A and B are shown apart, each in its own frame.
Chain A
Amino acid sequence: MAAIMDIVIAFTLGGILLIIILNANSIAGDQASILNGDMLVQQMLISATQLIEGEFRNMGFGVHIDSAAVVDARDTALIFLSDLDQNPSTPLDTVAYYLGPLSELATTQNDSDRLLHRRINGGTPFSLAAVTQFRMKFFSQSQLDTILPPNIFRPDWWIIRRVGGVEVVPPALFDRRQIKIIEITMEVQNPYAIYKRLDDPTRTIRGALYSSSLWRQTRLASQNLRR
C-alpha cells in the first residue's frame, strides 16, 4: 500500500512539475518572441533614423546661401537639395524622402506598414524602411512659426501660424527658406503580428500584438539652413 502511495504521489508531483516546465517553456517562448520582435523593430527603426538624421543634417550642402534648400515638403514627404558627392563642379542633387502607399505592403499582416522611399535626382526609389508612421512638422527659426505644408485635404495652400496671425500662401509664393527646423516622427512595427496565423480572420485587427517602436526628433536643424 505504501509503495502504491509513493508511486501515486510521485506521479502527482512529477505531473505538477511537468506542467510547470511546460508552462515555463511556453511563457519563455512568448517572451522570447516579444523581445525578439521588439529587438527587430528597434533595429529597423534605429538603422532608418541614423540614415535620415545624417542626411537631413546635410540638407542644403552646396546650396547658395540665399537660396532655399527645401524644394517641396508635405507632412509625409520632403524634397531638398544637397551636394551628395561634395563636388562643386557637379550639379546639386535632389533628394526625396516620401512615404509610399499602403498597397506596397498589402501582403503583410500589419495593415499600417508602408515603405519609406529615398530617391535621388528622380531616379529609381530605394526603400529605406518599412514604417507605420512617418510624419514631419516644419518650423521657422526658434520654432516661432509653425509651417503647415499642403496636404490631400488642402493641396493648394501653405499655412503659416505666426505670432501675429495666420498666413495662407499658395505654393508658388511660399518662401521655403523659412523652413529651419523639422520635427520628425517615425514608428516601426512588425510586419506580422505575434500569434496570428496568416489564415486568421482577425489578423489585421489593430489590437493584434505588434512590436512597436516610436522615434521623434523634435528639433532637427540642418546648419546649412542657418547660414
Chain B
Amino acid sequence: MGGKAAIILVMGFGFIFGYIAFRINELESRAIGNAATYYEVTASHNLAVAGANVGLSILYQRPSVWGRSSDTILTQQTFTTGQFAGGSFVARYGPSGAYKRLTSTSAFLAGGRTLWDTVRIMFTKIDSFDILGLMLGFRGNDDTWIKYDSMWGRVHFNGRCNIKGSPVFNDKITLSKGWDPPAGTGTNGVICKNGFETGVNQIPLPLETDTLDTFPCRDTTFMGDWSFQFFNIFFGNDDGFMLARSGLHNFTGGSPTVYFFNIPGSKRGVILVRGNVCIRGVVDGHITIGATGAIHIDDDLTCAVNPKTTPTSDDIIGIVALGDIKICNISGKSKTNWYVQAVMVTLSGSVSAEELSGTFVGVFRNYGGIITRDRFDIAQYTGSSGGATPYLNRGFYRRLERDTRLAPPRRLRPPCFPVPDNVPSALQIVNWWENVRVPEF
C-alpha cells in the first residue's frame, strides 16, 4: 500500500515539476525567439541589399545593359552555406518611368517560414558636365588642397588628393586613389559636407580630338598670339564685343580689331586662336574661346549678367586650351583677387599661376567649372604640421563654384563646347528604397 502511494506521489511531483519546467522553458524560448526573429529579418534584409550590390557591380561592368528597355534578370543566386544559407536573391534591371531601376528581391527561409525583402535603386543617365564642378585628370599624388580652399560643386580626382589642414568640399568628392594622408589622420582635416568616395574608377578626360566638336564650328580663326578684351554694351542683350590686339598682354597698344561674337544666323560665338591668347573683360553673350597653345587669363573675366546672382542669365564663357590655362600673375601685376566666370578645359596641359615668385597671397575665384588633364597648381605650399596653420607660401587660395546652369534641367553649355566623346555617360543613383518590414506579433 505504502509503495503504491510512494509511486503515485513521485509521479505526481514529477508531473507537477515537469509542467512548471515546460511553461518556463516555453516562455524562455519565446523570449529568445524575439531576438532570433530580429536576427532573421536582418539577415533577410542584408540578403536583398547584397543582391542589390551584386546587381550594381554587374551594371558597372556591363554598360551595354544600361539602355535595356525591358526587364532583364542580371543575376539570381541561391545560398546553401554561410550566413545566407537557405536564401536566394534575384536582381533585375529595367525601365521605370523616367528612370532606370534595379530591383533586388530576396527570399530567406528562416524558422519554417520565408521572409521576403526588396531593394529598389533608381538611376538616371548623366554625362560628367551635369554633375562635376571640378575634374582633375592628373593621376599623381601631389595635388594639394589646404585650409581656406573651398569648392562648391562635385569634384573628381583621377589621382590622389593631398590635404594639409581643413579645406572644405561642400559637395561630394570622388577620388580614384584616395586621400593623402588618409582622411582623419595626420594633416588631413578635410571637411566634406556631402561626403566622399575613394577608389572610384578613373574618368577618361577630354582628348585633343574632342576639340573636333568645337573647332570645326568656329566662326573665326586668329593666327599667332593675341590679346582679347571683352566689353559689355549696356543697352542690349548678347551684343557684347571684343577688341583683339596682336601679341600677348597687349590691351592698349596698336590698332585693335573690333569683333562682335554673337550675330544670329552668322556667328555662334566660337573663336579659335592658333597660338596663345590673353583674355579678360566682361562678356555679354555666349562664347567659346579655343587655343592651340596656352590661354592666359589676364584679369577678371566675368559675365555681363552675373549667373551666380541671376541664374536666368544666358551669358556663358567657355575656355578650351590644348595647352595650359594660366592665371596671368606676371611681374609687376599686383592683383591678388581674381574672379573668372567661365567653364575651363585643358586638353593636354594644366591650370596654373604664372611666376609664382615673391610672397604674395591671393584668392582665385571661379564660377563655372574646371576640367584639367594635368595639375591644378596655382600656389606653392610650405610647412608640414597639422592644425590651423595656413600652408600657402605664395599663390592663390581656391574658391571654386560650379555653375548651376550646367546641371539639368537647363544644361546650359558654351557654344559648341566639347562634351567629350570619350567620357561615357554614367548611371547615377537617384534614389534607393528598401522595404519596411511590419512586425509580425
A→B interface (CB under 8 Å): 17, 21, 24-25, 28, 31-32, 35-36, 38-39, 42-43, 46-47, 49-51, 54-55, 57-58, 61-62, 65-66, 83, 86, 88, 140-142, 144-145, 162-165, 175, 177-178, 180, 222-227
Kindly count the residue-residue contacts between A and B in the assembled complex, taking CB atoms under 8 Å apart: 123
Q: Which residues of A contact B68 (CB under 8 A)?
A: none
Please list the residues of chain B having a beta carbon within 8 angstroms of any beta carbon in chain A.
Answer: 9, 13, 16-17, 20, 23-24, 27-28, 30-31, 34-35, 37-38, 41, 97-98, 121, 147, 165-166, 170-172, 183-185, 188-189, 191-196, 386-388, 428-439, 441
CB distance from B141 to the nearest CB of A (A): 20
Is there contact, CB below 8 Å, between A32 and B184? Answer: no
Task: Give the most central of B165, B172, B428: most A CB within 10 Å.
Answer: B172
Q: B23's contact among A17, A28, A66, A163, by CB below 8 Å, is which?
A: A28
Residue of A nearest to B27 (CB): A35
- The interface residues of chain B lying within 8 Å CB-to-CB of A50 are 38, 41, 436-439
Name 15 interchain pairs, CB-CB below 8 A, sorted by A. Answer: A32-B27, A35-B24, A39-B34, A42-B31, A49-B38, A50-B41, A50-B438, A54-B435, A54-B437, A58-B434, A65-B428, A88-B98, A142-B184, A165-B166, A223-B121
A162 and B166 in contact, given A28-B20, A54-B436, A58-B436 (Cβ under 8 angstroms): yes
Task: Tell me the smallest distance from the CB of A209 to a CB of chain B, in Å.
Answer: 16
Nearest CB in chain A to that of B17: its residue:
A24
| CB-based nearest A residue for B192 | A141
By beta carbon, the residue of chain B nearest A83 is B431
Also in contact, A51 and B439, with CB within 8 A (given A46-B38, A141-B196, A144-B183): yes
Other-chain residue from B17, B31, B189 in contact with A162 (beta carbon distance below 8 A): B189
CA distance A223 to B432 in the complex (A): 6
Q: Min CB distance, A174 to chain B, in Å?
A: 10
Q: Which residues of B contact A38 (CB under 8 A)?
A: 31
Question: Are B432 and A61 in touch, CB under 8 angstroms?
Answer: yes
B431 touches A46 (CB 8 A): no
| Best-surrounded residue of B13, B171, B183, B184 (most CB of chain A within 10 A) | B184
Is the beta-carbon distance between A163 and B188 smaller than 8 angstroms? Answer: yes
The 5 A-B pairs of least Cβ separation, nearest first, read: A164-B189, A54-B436, A47-B439, A223-B432, A35-B27
B193 contacts which of A25, A163, A175, A222 (Cβ < 8 Å)? A175
Given contacts A39-B34, A54-B435, A224-B431, contact A175 B27 (CB under 8 A): no
Besides A162-B191, A163-B183, 5 more A-B contacts (Cβ < 8 Å) are: A17-B9, A24-B17, A51-B436, A88-B97, A142-B184
Residues of B within 8 A of A226 (CB): 195
Q: Are B433 and A35 in contact (CB under 8 A)?
A: no
B183 pairs with A43, CB closer than 8 A? no
CB distance from A53 to the nearest CB of B (A): 8
Nearest-CB residue, chain B, relative to A38: B31
What residues of chain B lie closer than 8 Å to A61, measured between beta carbons?
431-433
Q: Is the CB of A140 within 8 A of B192?
A: yes
Known: A50-B41, A163-B189. A224 touches B27 (CB 8 A): no
Q: Verify A32–B23 contact, CB threshold 8 A.
A: yes
> Once the chains are docked, how many angstroms separate the CA of A66 from the CA of B153?
9
**Docked complex Cα distance between A225 and B192 (Å):** 13
- Given the complex of chains A and B, what is the CA–CA distance between A182 and B221 in angstroms? 57
